[in-house]
Structure 1
Amino acid sequence: MTDWWHANFPLGKQSLTIADANGYPVKIAYGEVGSGKPLFLLHGIGSWSYNWRNSIKPLSKYFRVICFDAKGYGFSDKPISRREQQGHQVTELARVIRALCNEPAIIVGESLGALVALAASQKYPQLIARLIVVNVPIFAKRLPHWGMSLLSQIPIEVIQAIDTSRLSYLFAPLVREVMAIERRSVLYDPSTLTPEDVYWITYPYIEFPGTLTKVAEELKIAAQEIELAQANKPNWLTNTQNNLFKISCPTLILWGKQDSWFPASDGKKLQECIPNSYLNIIPNCCHDASFGASAIINKTAVRFLQESGYC
C-alpha cells in the first residue's frame, strides 16, 4: 500500500514537538502542501488527517494546506499514562498554529475539530483569520452513536488493557469490517467507501497502541460535558455556546442536510449566534461531509474565502 503521507505531501509526514495542555512535550504528525495563506484542516473524533483526503490537493491550489493529527489520534503521540481535561485540544491547536505560522490562519474543522475551532476562535482570536466549520456538535444533547456511548461507559483501564494487548491488531479483519459498516452509516452514498479507505481509516487503531484508549477518553469527557450541560452545571461546552457571539472573524457554517448525528437545525441556530457568519446546508450529505461532500465543501470554501478577501 502506497504511503499516504508521501502521496499527498512533498515532504511526507513531518513531526512537530509542542508542549501539550498539561505542559508535557508531545510529537504531532503533520503534512503540508501548497503556498499562500495557511489553511489548517482539523479532523473529528476517532479520525485523523486522512479524513480530508479529497480536499488537500484541491485547496492547495490556493493555500498552504496543513493537515495535522491531534494528540492521541492518527500518527501523533498517544500519552495514555496521562488523563486529559476538556478543552485541551484548543490549547494544543493554538500551539501548533504558532509553531507553523507567522500570520493568522484559516481553520477548516469538521465535527469535534469544528468545535475545537469555535472555542479557539473565542480564546485566541488573533490566531484565526477565517473560520469554516462543518457539522459541529456545539448543541449536542447526547453522544450520537451507540458505540460511542458504550466506549464512554467502559472503565478506561479496561480499554487500555485491550489496547495495549494489541487485540485490534490480532483481529484486524474484524476491526476493518466493523469500522467499514459504521463509516458507511454516516455517508449519503455508502458505496463510495473503498477498501483502501477502510484500510487507512482503521490503520491507527490496528498499528498504534493507545489510539482506542485516547478516543475512549475523549468520549468520556464529551459524555460528562453533555451531562453537566443538561444539569445546568458549569461546563466547557456551555461556556463555548455562551461565548459564540465573541467570534469576530468571518465564519462559514456548512451542514449536511441528512446529518443524523447533529441536525441541520443546529446549523441555523449556530448561524444566529455568530455575528459575521454564513450558513450553507449541503444536500445529499450526512455526517461524514469531508469525504461524502468534499467537492461541494472545497468549492464553497474557496468561494467564501475569495469573497471575504482572503484568497
Structure 2
Amino acid sequence: MSTIETVLLIVVAALVLLIIGNVAFQLIAERKNPPIGVFIECDGVRLHYIERGDATAPCVVLFHGNGTMIQDLILSGLVDRLAYHYRVVCFDRPGFGYSRRPRTRIWTATTQAALFAKALDQLGVRNPVVLGHSWGTLVAIALALRSDCVVSGLVLASGYYFPTFRMDFWLMSSPAVPLVGDLMRYTISPIVSWAIMPKLIRTLFAPRAVPPEFNDEFPISLSLRPKQLRAAAEESAFLIPVVAQLHLQYPCIRCPVRIVHGKDDRLIEADQSRRLHEALPRSLIDLVEDAGHMVTYVDTAGIADAVAVLALAAPTSPELGREA
C-alpha cells in the first residue's frame, strides 16, 4: 500500500469514527434532555411547543433566537412571569429543540411565519401579542405582516433589522452548504462549536456575567447536534438576505410595536433598534443600560410590562381584530 493510500485510509477511518461519535452524541443528548412540551403536526412539520397560563386569557406567543430553543425563554423568567396573567405559547422554531425542519423548504422568516400562522390557528390562538428575541424578531415581524393572522402588538428584543456588512454571519453559515456542510456537521462542526461555545455565551451575555441558571440548566448538548447546527447555519446565511427583503415592508406594520435592546450588545449593535424605531411611527423604544444581547435576562420585568400594555389594547374577539 502506497503512502497516499495509507493517508487516505486513515482520513476515511477518522471521518467514519467522527460520524459514529456524533450520531451517538446526538442520541445521548436527546436521552438526557427529552422534550419538555407537546407536539403539533402542521403543514407537514412536527412542531414542539409549550403552553402555560390561563387558556382563556389573552395570548402571548414567544419566538426564540438563532441557536437556542424554548429553554432559553424559560430560563430568562419570561415564560413564568407572563403566564401569571396570559396564555403563553412558546415554540421551538423549525430545526431547533425538537421541532423538525424539512429540507424541502427554504426556512426564511416569511416561510416560518406562514407555518406559525397555521399552527396558531390550529391552537385557537387569536389576536396574540408576539414577542421575538434576536432572529425571532424577524419571524414576529413577518407574522405581523400577514393578512391571515391578526397580531395585536409586537415586542422585539435584540433584533437585526437592516442589512449591513457582517462577515461573522457568513463565516457561521458554512455547515449549511449542501454536501460539504453535511460532512462538516457530522464530523468537525460539533467539536469546533463545543470549543467556541463558552466564549460565544460570554459574548451574548456581556457586559453581565452568564446567569448561573443558564450555565446549570440550558441544554447546550442539544444545540450541538448536527441537525440543530444546520438550522443555526442556515439562519446565519439567511439573515442579511431576509432583512434586505423585510425592511422594505416595515411601513406596512399596523400594530403597535415595543422595541427593546441592550445598549452594550456585542453581537447586534443597538443602532439597529434605533433605526427601526425611526421607521415605525407607532413604536416605542427602550435601550437598556448595562445589558447585552440577552436583554431578556436583564430586563425581564420591563419586557413583561411592554407585553401587558399591548395586551390591554388587544381586541377581545377575532372580528374586532380583523376590523382593526
Distance across 2 between alignment mates of 1:124 and 1:115: 16
Q: 1:30 aligns with which of 35, 46, 49?
A: 49
Distance across 1 between alignment mates of 2:142 and 2:38: 26
Pick closer, same or farther for the CA change 1:59–1:282 going to 2, 3 Å. same
Distance across 1 between alignment mates of 2:243 and 2:272: 15
Amino acid at match of 2:126: E
Which residues in structure 2 correspond to 1:73-222 (within 5 Å)? 73-79=96-102, 81-86=103-108, 87-124=110-147, 126-143=149-166, 146=168, 148-153=169-174, 155-164=177-186, 168=190, 175-176=193-194, 178-194=196-212, 197=215, 200-206=218-224, 208-222=225-239
CA contact (8 A) 1:47 1:201 kept: no
Using the TM superposition, give the Cα deviation of residue 31 of structure 1 relative to its aligned residue in structure 2, in angstroms.
0.5
Query: Is the aligned partner of 1:269 residue 2:275?
Result: yes
Using the TM superposition, give the Cα deviation of residue 163 of structure 1 relative to its aligned residue in structure 2, in angstroms.
2.9
Aligned to 1:230: none
Which consecutive residues of structure 1, in runs of 5 or more, have no partner in the other structure? 7-11, 20-24, 226-235
Pick closer, same or farther for the CA change 1:278–1:308 going to 2, 3 Å. farther
Pick closer, same or farther for the CA change 1:282–1:301 going to 2, 3 Å. farther
Using the TM superposition, give the Cα deviation of residue 99 of structure 1 relative to its aligned residue in structure 2, in angstroms.
1.7
Q: Percent identity?
A: 20
Amino acid at match of 2:69: W
Aligned to 2:38: 14
Which consecutive residues of structure 2, in runs of 5 or more, have no partner in the other structure? 1-28, 317-324
TM-score, normalization: structure 1? 0.79
1:28 counterpart SS class: strand
Aligned to 1:47: 68
Amino acid at match of 1:17: E
2:172 counterpart SS class: helix
Query: Is the aligned partner of 1:250 residue 2:250?
Result: no
Pick closer, same or farther for the CA change 1:134–1:310 going to 2, 3 Å. farther
Pick closer, same or farther for the CA change 1:125–1:108 going to 2, 3 Å. farther
CA contact (8 A) 1:47 1:73 kept: yes
Amino acid at match of 1:128: V
Q: Deviations over 1:4-26 (max 9, x none)?
A: 888xxxxx41001111xxxxx11
Q: Deviations over 1:256-285 (max 9, x none)?
A: 111233322222221222232111111111
Query: Is the aligned partner of 1:305 residue 2:310?
Result: yes
Using the TM superposition, give the Cα deviation of residue 310 of structure 1 relative to its aligned residue in structure 2, in angstroms.
7.2
CA contact (8 A) 1:255 1:267 kept: yes
Pick closer, same or farther for the CA change 1:92–1:184 going to 2, 3 Å. same
Aligned residue pairs total: 281
Using the TM superposition, give the Cα deviation of residue 83 of structure 1 relative to its aligned residue in structure 2, in angstroms.
4.9
2:48 counterpart SS class: strand
Aligned to 2:20: none
Distance across 2 between alignment mates of 1:262 and 1:110: 12
Q: Answer with 1 or 2: which has the greater Rg.
A: 2
Distance across 1 between alignment mates of 2:239 and 2:280: 23
Pick closer, same or farther for the CA change 1:280–1:26 going to 2, 3 Å. same
Pick closer, same or farther for the CA change 1:176–1:152 going to 2, 3 Å. closer
Distance across 1 between alignment mates of 2:99 and 2:157: 23
Q: Deviations over 1:232-258 (max 9, x none)?
A: xxxx53342122121111211111111
Aligned Cα RMSD in Å?
Answer: 3.0
TM-score, normalization: structure 2? 0.76
Distance across 2 between alignment mates of 1:214 and 1:305: 31
Pick closer, same or farther for the CA change 1:13–1:126 going to 2, 3 Å. closer
Query: Is the aligned partner of 1:66 residue 2:89?
Result: yes
Amino acid at match of 1:32: E
Distance across 2 between alignment mates of 1:30 and 1:16: 8
